[in-house]
Amino acid sequence: MKRIKYTEDLQRQCAEWRAKGLKVGLVPTMGYFHDGHLALMDHARSMCDKLVVTLFVNPTQFGPNEDLDAYPHDLERDSQLAWDHGADLLFAPAPEAMYAPDHATWVEVPELAQNLCGESRPTHFRGVCTVVMKLFMLTLPHVAVFGQKDWQQLAILKRMVRDLNIPVDIQGHPIVREKDGLALSSRNAYLTPEEREHAPFIRKALLEARKLAQQGETDALVIKDFIRQRLGQTMPMAEPDYIEMVDPNSIQPIMAVADSALIAVAVRLGKARLIDNILIKVD
């Protein structure tokens, strides 16, 4: 596995692979790998000839007073894990390699970024779209894999690719969880033992809400209020950032479940901000 840090080297290597007719897969990450990241790599590996994993804590997707400086990292550990899971190249640049001092160009999909995480983090998805677009331009991948835990991000990137006619197949991978249901996240490292004990109640509340919908309750306000009450009972130390029901594709709020809906939550628990979601379908 090659480990490089300069954009020119990444672009040159991927162009050589494509010139040979090889299929290039891409897994963009911010590092501190867990089993969720590794599942993305395994999935991409199964669909490509050459796998590129990127490790870049992208400063433009962090807002003021967020955890950019504290974000966990361990490059040597991550390098070994990427190698173990079939990466042919690990791209780990410094911020100055990705952004010029006078960087002034942005990519965004504002209609899909109004709600959920975009409401409390108004510049977040602009940073995500911009860095992912740069990685697409550098690697020209045939396929790129992202996790469904960040469902809104996945929907935004799919729309970006569609609207800009980018020739890449965006693949979403199901959420990878701990045995007790907690969605894997690098930010889980922020949880204290007591907080970690309570964190799985997010998933349990979502499962109960889906069951409620499948039993006939389709009113979004009722379902959201049910989740809020359950979190209040089981996680009194937590502070919900949002509890929403949206259309899975447009990420626009809906008042009732007609066919399918995404229930998405973000919860602040100590130093961690945890997100999770569940897709519900009713007849």
Express each pLDDT in 35-59 by its tens digit. Answer: 999 999 999 999 999 999 999 999 9
Q: Alpha carbon 40 to chain centroid distance?
A: 11
Percent of the chain with pLDDT over 70: 100
186 labelled ligand-binding: yes
Segment 8-32 shows an average pLDDT of 98
Cβ neighbors of 96 (< 8 A, separation 6 or more) are none
Report CA dihedral (207, 211, 217, 220) to the nearest 10 degrees: 20
61 known member of a binding site:
yes
Taking only the tens place, the pLDDT of each residue in 65-99 is 899 999 999 999 999 999 999 999 999 999 999 99
In angstroms and rounded to an integer, the radius of gyration of the C-alpha atoms of the chain is: 19
CATH topology of domain 186-281: Pantoate--beta-alanine Ligase; Chain: A,domain 2 (3.30.1300)
Query: What pLDDT is stored for residue 282 in this prediction?
Result: 81
By the 8 A CB rule, do 175 and 147 touch? Answer: yes
Torsion (CA) 81, 69, 67, 145 in degrees, nearest 10: -30
Is residue 231 pLDDT above 90, yes or no? yes
Indicate where the chain has its CATH 3.30.1300.10 domain(s).
186-281
Number of neighbours of residue 277 by Cβ within 10 angstroms: 21
pTM exceeds 0.75: yes
Residue 71 is predicted with a pLDDT of 95
Give residue-wise pLDDT tens across range 232-264: 999 999 999 999 999 999 999 999 998 899 999
**What is the structure's pLDDT at 173?**
98
Q: Is 215 assigned a ligand-binding role in the annotation?
A: no
Q: What is the pLDDT of residue 56?
A: 98
For the annotated catalytic residues, the residue numbers are: 37
Three-state SS string over the chain comes to CEEECCHHHHHHHHHHHHHCCCCEEEEEECCCCCHHHHHHHHHHHCCCCEEEEEECCCHHHCCCCCCCCCCCCCHHHHHHHHHHCCCCEEECCCHHHHCCCCCCCCCCCHHHCCCCHHHHCCCHHHHHHHHHHHHHHHHCCCEEEEEHHHHHHHHHHHHHHHHCCCCCEEEEECCCECCCCCECCHHHHHCCHHHHHHCCHHHHHHHHHHHHHHCCCCEHHHHHHHHHHHHHHHCCCCEEEEEEEECCCCCCECCECCCEEEEEEEEEECCEEEEEEEEEECC
Mean pLDDT for all residues in the chain: 97
The structure tokens listed for 77 are 């550990």
User: Encoding tokens for residue 150?
Assistant: 């960040």
Q: What is the pLDDT of residues 110-165, one digit of tens each?
A: 999 999 999 999 999 999 999 999 999 999 999 999 999 999 999 999 999 999 99
- Phi-psi region at 104: left, alpha or beta (left = phi > 0; alpha = psi -120 to 50): alpha
What is the C-alpha to C-alpha distance for residues 41 and 86, in angstroms, rounded to an integer? 7
Name the pLDDT band for 19 (thresholds 50, 70, 90).
very high
Confirm or reject CATH 3.40.50.620 for domain 2-173, answering yes or no.
yes
Confidence at 283, pLDDT banded by 50, 70, 90: confident
User: Residues 253, 132: contact at Cβ < 8 Å?
Assistant: no
Residue 32 annotated in ligand binding: yes
Annotated binding residue 150: yes
- Return residue ranges of the chain for CATH 3.40.50.620: 2-173
- In this structure, the number of other CB atoms found within 10 A of the CB of residue 104 comes to 5
